[in-house]
Structure 1
């Protein structure tokens, strides 16, 4: 009995100690987090460093523990960047903006939205300067909005047009005996073409040429207006790489001056008639300038759907029907929410999850106006969940469409034969089945093909109903083909060109309200295990450790390969990973 009392006392003492240690952690975090308040000083210049990855939505973890211990990593969200620029326009302490970033961590449509907001900032009469040692193509596109643009004397500008490269694996598969068994619908559904052919099909070349030309047209027309260089001249500059050194860049009016960094700082000082106080974008956002204040009672719900679509709960980087559908229901239930804006940034994914989200949106639309805003991507499954909106708004450079379906399974039968491996199966029934080590039989192919065709027909019908088009008309522009937002406006897949702000304005008009505030969904919480999953290197999660070790670009490749193993069931997914640098 005495032993039992001692055991219980020890257990109780352990939990009391654990609780006290936890309280000590919170106290230390509170003390450490109580730093100086960020103050925007007079004669300040807002410095835009956009090298961090920019998400459409990067909310803070809402759990008290994560906030107290500051376990939530720093992120940039597009809405905060745009809000900060808008606030800077009205901020008397901000005299101008300096674009000084080594890279742009945003997609093309996001970059275009930031550029538009900077154009609005210029209307205030405040200046925008830009400086860099080397400009990537996307960096130059953004920076070309500046009143004055400068380059290091030994710097250069990558301005050479857009190109695409796709690897084909058919000969590799034949040589080594490992291949992908593919079932698809859509002659443009080129996600699986590299496994079936050893060269690009005419249909694939047609669509790639089309959307690259459309995006490049946006590039050159926007740059032409702000740099006062004709589109024809810009194409000649690109053809001959005439931004390859500072002298050529200046000669061709791509820049306004060749200077060193210290000389650029002096120009900023001259622009404000005194020594300038530089405040970086992250600090400006932390000072409270990353949001637009409003006391309005009515709300517009903005629901962010970003990442690939997977069946399940989902998280900040993956669209799952669990989290998204709960957010939709909350927005519908909230009487102060007068309209819903769904912000889509997705290449697609699970056809089943896409259908489940589509259904929840269809129910929501019966209660409140529904507007879709398309980000960098709203393709395949991403378009599936967008197609039934009252209004669809896309950026000209948004990649959308890709209305097609496919299924793909790895097969190692020929390799196993070469290695002397023989697989034998025993089954109780004659249902269609698949083995990695046997050729796909006709029965399994027929069943899978039937499923692909059924989902494709459902997908096209969803689009036809949502867009008020005939099945035949949708089918003609579907077939898995990818379109830019600009092209999608012409063929009826979207209603307007613009950004999230334009979509919100459309929702306000449909709701017939005068004043409003924004309510963002969903909210995210980490469980306690994830919070304390801290490495010896001080990184909060394994993704950050890998990114630190192999670099951002290599991490993106790793992430794409890693996502492949999560593809379950029939996919409504975009055929490409498109990156413009």
Structure 2
């Protein structure tokens, strides 16, 4: 006769720096990633005795806090009890805690609820002092980087636009919160007693975590979210793939950038693989190189002809980041995601005066009237500036047309908002720049229902870091694993990966 094991309480540690990517890259981190936590909450949380979260200051954005909040709300619909203990918190952490059935804190805790601000620095005077001239052209009056780099004062229209975004975030935050008034988020540095009076927490306790769990859930059986060493198993059957696109769009092949050299072959192989039913592209990018953005857009569009392609915007999809999101008709974001910045700019420094001041003289020899148009050793002529302005304007026009055609918005309406402005997810939904506000957990649920995936959330993670780079960082066993993965890199670029635990 076997004793039946009690259902465990899932213990979440939401504190410090939480990794944002999941896959082979995660081997270099011992902590569960953001998606690990989401998956644990929704999959294992439904079968648990409850969920307990110990919350402290994190690197989470409001968008990420909202997605974790949605995951907690999903399991609560199944009758799962949830309790949080906040040691200290800023705005995202307190916002997240609102989704739990009960929230406790200690009498020694303090909470930084000081509101929102954005610092805008201008570099015009700095570049003048070092004798560097920033030359730029732009299409979209609120594309702010050229002005911030070249002017001595922040233009009033840019300050007004940033204020509009901050006001929109605060307004959305107040509407999302139900447990306590939204003005708590801008009330200052609060003690635990002051937070209790606001209604944001249910109680103050100095009991140990184990005692709180025993009292609330009636069990001491705890299951932690651990960071497993991951191995690769190839699987058949219906598969969903997640493709992370995080960072600046550039030709730079570094893992911190979204580049063709890293993504082109992976997208091709995803497209060709018949086992993959759907692909979720997770976008978190401020934009970057216009040409690379367009090429990635076309590759993703081609994929969407054979797979159901869903775009999940995390914290930001601006400029080129929004352009690549237009590969799908299904674009979802959080209410706090920053979306848009439909515009184009080009920047070129002129360092001739700086070099002259230290005794260096530059002379350019070339063939072709525009051969030195991008040279940092000469200023733009009126004709060259006109050529670049026309180029930027044409790119802007193409961007506007792609938005109008993909989102089925009249072109004249797109032009009204295509001045470089950034919008919150809530406003983007009203402007039809996205379909809806939906978390990654909600997207998992939808795709699982549609394709009858056997086990929630049965995901395939496509990670495209060349793991051999990190070989020397690990012990002998892990090094062996990395070498094995490196030898199979061509397979890893397209076969579905089922990430399983090597150890508990």
State the TM-score, normalized to the length of structure 2: 0.82
- Of 184, 187, 190 in structure 2, the residue corresponding to residue 244 of structure 1 is 190
Contact residue 160 and residue 238 of structure 1 kept, 8 A: yes
**Cα deviation digits, residues 514-541 of structure 1 (max 9, x gap):** 4467553534353545412679xx99xx
Does residue 1:280 correspond to 2:220, yes or no? Answer: no
Aligned partner of 2:279 in structure 1 is 340
Aligned partner of 1:299 in structure 2 is 239
SS of the equivalent of 1:100 reads strand
SS of the equivalent of 1:445 reads helix
| Pair 88,368 (structure 1): closer, same or farther in 2 beyond 3 Å | closer
Q: Distance in 1 between matches of 2:360 and 2:237?
A: 69
Aligned partner of 1:405 in structure 2 is 344
Number of equivalences? 467
Q: CA deviation at 1:507?
A: 5.7
Contact residue 387 and residue 466 of structure 1 kept, 8 A: yes
| Pair 53,179 (structure 1): closer, same or farther in 2 beyond 3 Å | farther
Contact residue 56 and residue 306 of structure 1 kept, 8 A: no
Q: Distance in 2 between matches of 1:327 and 1:488?
A: 30
- Of 329, 334, 337 in structure 2, the residue corresponding to residue 390 of structure 1 is 329
SS of the equivalent of 2:346 reads strand
Larger mean Cα displacement after TM superposition, 344-353 or 149-158: 149-158
Does residue 1:327 correspond to 2:266, yes or no? Answer: yes
Which residues of 2 match residues 82-481 of structure 1 at below 5 A?
82-91=38-47, 94-223=48-177, 225=178, 227=179, 229-230=180-181, 234-235=182-183, 237-241=184-188, 244-260=190-206, 262-274=207-219, 276-282=220-226, 286=228, 297-311=237-251, 315=255, 317-433=256-372, 434-481=374-421
Contact residue 391 and residue 506 of structure 1 kept, 8 A: no
Q: Distance in 1 between matches of 2:330 and 2:246?
A: 19
Contact residue 314 and residue 322 of structure 1 kept, 8 A: no
**Cα deviation digits, residues 446-505 of structure 1 (max 9, x gap):** 232232222222222222221123333222211211111111111111111102244456
Which residues of 2 match residues 12-51 of structure 1 at below 5 A?
42=6, 44-51=8-15
Contact residue 362 and residue 388 of structure 1 kept, 8 A: yes
Aligned partner of 1:58 in structure 2 is 22
SS of the equivalent of 2:325 reads coil
| Pair 527,373 (structure 1): closer, same or farther in 2 beyond 3 Å | closer
| Pair 41,115 (structure 1): closer, same or farther in 2 beyond 3 Å | farther
Aligned partner of 1:571 in structure 2 is none
State the TM-score, normalized to the length of structure 1: 0.72
Aligned partner of 1:546 in structure 2 is none
Q: Distance in 1 between matches of 2:138 and 2:109?
A: 47
Structure 1 residue runs without a partner (length 5+)? 1-39, 62-69, 289-294, 540-581
SS of the equivalent of 2:87 reads strand
Q: CA deviation at 1:169?
A: 1.6
Structure 2 residue runs without a partner (length 5+)? 480-504
**Cα deviation digits, residues 111-132 of structure 1 (max 9, x gap):** 2111111122233434322223
| Pair 363,400 (structure 1): closer, same or farther in 2 beyond 3 Å | same
Q: Distance in 2 between matches of 1:475 and 1:42?
A: 60
Q: Distance in 2 between matches of 1:41 and 1:132?
A: 29
| Pair 101,251 (structure 1): closer, same or farther in 2 beyond 3 Å | closer
Contact residue 22 and residue 35 of structure 2 kept, 8 A: no
Contact residue 380 and residue 404 of structure 1 kept, 8 A: yes
Larger mean Cα displacement after TM superposition, 497-506 or 199-208: 497-506
Q: CA deviation at 1:402?
A: 0.9
Aligned partner of 1:567 in structure 2 is none
